[in-house]
Amino acid sequence: MQRDDDEVFPIVTTADGGVSDDGLAVLMKFSTVDQGHVHLALRLADLQHLITFLLQLAAHGGSATRTTQRSECQPIPITEVRVGEREDGVGRLGVRVGGTELIFAAPAGMLSNLAHTLLRIETPAGPRHLM
């Protein structure tokens, strides 16, 4: 894939990876259509920023807000939340951001606590800020 400024962006077909031997980085190997393999390492400390950036791209249709400081936390706009429980008692929390859906496994009790917290957000005195 190519942009107007002649930069080439290989299309990724598969991704694989793991954690570095020292546990401080995520190692990623991307297979591309035309360029073979691309290897990347990302420090665990930077993982949140990459995931936030990708989810903002998904939510905003290709444009994401960049932060000037590493410590800034950028809210990710959620478009849908679903909660359920499997027959084995494991809870599921589905979160949709734009066209991307993430499903998290969690103890059912944790999801119950989350539901109670969400019910307490709106009070007769007005909305409360939990974060």
Q: CA geometry: angle at 29 spanning 24 and 35, to 5°?
A: 145
Q: Where are the domains of the chain?
A: 1-75, 78-131
**pTM (2 d.p.):** 0.60
Query: Which one-letter amino acid corresponds to residue 116?
Result: H
- What does the pLDDT read at residue 60? 75
pLDDT tens column, 56-95: 888 777 666 655 554 466 788 888 999 888 888 889 999 9
- What does the pLDDT read at residue 70? 47
